[in-house]
Amino acid sequence: MFYVSIFFQYASQYMKTRLTYRSDLVVELFSDILFQAVNLIFILVVFGHTTLLSGWSREEIIFIYGFFLVPYAIFSSFFNIWDFNERYIVKGEMDRVLTRPIHSLFQIIIERMELESMFGVITGVAIMFYAGSQLGLTVSWYDPFMFILMVAGGALIYAGIFIILASISFWSDSRTDIMPMMYNIGNYGRYPVDIYNQVIRYVLTWILPFAFVGVYPAAFFLGRDEWYFYAFLTPVMGLVFITIAVFAWNEGVKRYRGAGN
């Protein structure tokens, strides 16, 4: 309860600050939309030269992309920790975080949130509805609940992977350019995994399970029952990854060396 009220305190404060730099906010929203458009353009251009992607149609791929945008938007609103090492470890901001009576990871999440990214939820849902209607999909009573469950699972997987990567900074003094590159890898979960070979499919399913933030859960809504097993695994994977991540984080904090040493 306490954490919820703290969250809203920070959120309202965040809005106030954000609205003072309105021009940057506009550019940022614009760049988000641009980013979402780029991937859509990619899909459209590619399908200008082919009709099926190993048995998946253009609308299906677009639908997967639309689904992906939703957990991704939630992730990027709250887990802006790609520059954790630079910002908190090298500059020593972690010292300050650790002198406050709130869990350190939670503090960083609320300090770094970028609520405007939530806009992606709208884009994503809109894209899904567009592609869904093209495909003639219907909405059942349980679909919204499944959707929430799948989205939560996907966002947790994303968060888990990035928290684990951030935790590495506690052990190693190195700067990690891994994070930005990881964003690229996240994109590959948006395509049907059967186009990849065994190794990449395995990686995208079990090691960096980005396929659970795209094709697997979307397959459920597309009625592709050969993937149902993986689709239902999405929330489970989310829980597993976030648990590992929080554990890694807590262990990491014990090894924090402080700045300037």
Q: Which of residues 86-105 bind other proteins (CB under 8 A)?
A: 92-96, 98-103
Residue burial 136-174, b: 16+ Cβ < 10 Å; e: rest: ebeeeeeeeebbebbbbbbbbbbbbbbbbbbbbbbeeee
| Residue number, 117 or 234, with CB nearest to other proteins | 117
> Which residue of 143, 177, 225, 247 would you call a contact of other proteins, by CB under 8 A?
177
For residues 48 to 77, the per-residue mask of contacts with other proteins, x marking binding by CB under 8 A and - elsewhere, is xxx-xxx-----------------------
Q: Which of residues 191-220 bind other proteins (CB under 8 A)?
A: 191-192, 195-197, 199-200, 203
Q: Which is nearer to other proteins, 46 or 122 (CB)?
A: 46
Pick the piece of the chain touching other proteins (CB under 8 A) from 25-33, 126-134, 135-143, 145-153: 25-33
- 46 binding other proteins? (CB under 8 A): yes
Looking at the Cβ atoms of 138 and 184, the one nearer to other proteins is 184
Among 115, 148, 181, 236, binds other proteins (CB under 8 A): 181
Please identify, using beta-carbon distances, which residue of 125 and 200 lies nearer to other proteins.
200
Among the listed ranges 46-54, 152-160, 226-234, 238-246, the one in contact with other proteins (CB under 8 A) is: 46-54
Question: 201 CB contacts (<8 Å, ≥6 apart)?
Answer: 193, 194, 211
Query: Which of 9, 133, 140, 243 touches other proteins (CB under 8 A)?
Result: 9
Measured from the CB of residue 12, what is the shortest distance to other proteins in angstroms? 10
Residues 106-165 that bind other proteins (CB under 8 A): none
Contacts of residue 208, defined as CB under 8 A and 6 or more positions apart, other chains included, come to 161, 182, 185
CB of 138 to other proteins, least distance (A): 28
Q: Does residue 250 bind other proteins (CB under 8 A)?
A: no
How far is it, in rounded angstroms, from Cα 99 to Cα 187? 37
User: By C-beta, is 130 or 256 nearer to other proteins?
Assistant: 256
How far apart CA 61 and CA 68 sit, in angstroms, is 11
Rounded to an integer, what distance in angstroms lies between the CA atom of residue 120 and that of residue 75? Answer: 10
Separation between Cα atoms, residue 239 and residue 255, nearest integer Å:
25
Contacting other proteins (CB under 8 A), which of 19, 141, 229, 261? 261
62-84 core/surface letters (b: 16 or more CB in 10 A; e: else) = bbbbbbbbbbbbbbbbbbbbbeb
Can you spell out the DSSP letters for 48-109?
TS-SEETTEEHHHHHHHHHHHHHHHHHHHHH---TTHIIIIIIT-HHHHHHTSSS-HHHHHH
